Amino acid sequence: MIDFVKGKIVHKSLTSVVVEIGGVGLVLHIPISTYESIGVTGDEVKLLTYVSIKNEELNLFGFATFRERKLFKKLISVSGIGTKIALAILSEMPVDEFENAVINEDMVTLTSIHGIGSKTAKRILFELKDEISEAAFIDPTTPIKKDAVSALVSLGFKASKARMLVEKVLKEKKIETIEELIKETLKCV
């Protein structure tokens, strides 16, 4: 239907952007990942799109990358997941991290996403695991990351904060063991 839009950013917020195309302003709902990667008001932008028509209402969704749009489409194909939850997932974690959580059946990470409970997480795993496993590249450090995040969550950290801290430590230092990773992560707090 509409594959992409290209135009000038008129207004931008965390959840939407207005793009002017030929004198018409289109409102596109976007995830935070897209918000962070597009320019500022007045800049030219090209966003990949997905059009949703529900209850006689037309909604246009915009994405900075093909992978974001592809995951969004996969997510809304899951029973019980609508566009709002799909955008929340893309807003709260990068595509790679979400795919790794699905591949590794990481319920802690999946249920840490706002709006995802254990039933929905199990449904995501059931309906998307095989499809994502076939298409995704698995990060070899995922098990250590997963274990460190789980340990930090059990110590009272929010999952998103724990993931951010673990990623920071892994970028800065060569870590070999889970114990060392947790110790170094706690030093960052």
Please list the residue range(s) of the chain that carry CATH number 2.40.50.140. Answer: 4-63
Q: Is the pLDDT confidence value at 27 over 80? A: yes
In CATH, what is the architecture of 4-63? Beta Barrel (2.40)
Residue 159 burial (CB count, 10 A): 21
Residues of the chain with CATH 1.10.150.20: 66-135
Q: How far apart are CA 17 and CA 20, in angstroms?
A: 10
Tens-digit pLDDT profile for residues 29-71 = 999 999 998 989 999 999 999 999 988 899 999 999 999 999 9
| pLDDT reported for residue 139 | 47
Q: Where does residue 55 fall: left (phi above 0), alpha (psi -120 to 50 degrees), or beta otherwise? A: left
Please say if the pLDDT value at position 135 is more than 70: no
List the CATH code of the domain at 142-187: 1.10.8
Q: Which CATH number fits domain 66-135: 3.30.2310.20, 3.40.50.10860, 1.10.150.20, 1.10.10.60?
A: 1.10.150.20
What is the band of 142 on the pLDDT scale with cuts at 50, 70, 90?
Answer: low
pTM of the model: 0.70
